[in-house]
Amino acid sequence: MIAVASMKLRILAACAALATLSAGQAFADDGITAKLAAPVGEKTRFIAGGAMFYCEGDTCVALTPTSRTFATATCKAIADRVGAVVAFSGRKALDDAKLADCNEKALAKAGASALAGK
C-alpha cells in the first residue's frame, strides 16, 4: 500500500516537473529583450517592470514578463541600471521616440560621468 502511494507521488511529481518545463518554453517565446549600446562588464540580474532580467554581453532578457514589463518605465529602469538601450522588444518593439525617452536619464548620467573623468 505504501509502495503504491509512493509511486503515485513520484508520477505526480514527474508530471508537475514536465508541466513546469513546458510552461517555461511557452513563456520564453513571449520574453522581453533589451539590446544594450555597450555590453555589461559581468553577468547581471535585477528586477524591472515586475520581471527578472538577466543581462550578459549586450543583451538583457526577461523570460517570464508580467503584463507591465513591456513599458517605457521598464526600459528606463534597465537603462539606468546597465546603460543605454538601443532596442527594447517583445511581441512588438518600442519606437524611436520611446527609446529616446527611455535613454534620456542614462545618457545624461553617462555624459556626467565622462565630464567628471576629464
Report the pLDDT averaged over residues 105-113. 76
Contact yes or no for 50/73 (Cβ under 8 A): no
Mean pLDDT of the chain: 81
- Which has more confidence, 2 or 33? 33
- pLDDT for res 105: 84
- pLDDT for res 109: 78
Q: How far apart are CA 52 and CA 10, in angstroms?
A: 31
Q: Report pLDDT digits (tens) over 48-89.
A: 999 999 999 999 999 999 999 999 999 999 999 999 999 999
- pLDDT for res 30: 79
In this prediction the pTM is: 0.69
Contacts of residue 37, defined as CB under 8 A and 6 or more positions apart, other chains included, come to 58, 83, 84, 85, 86
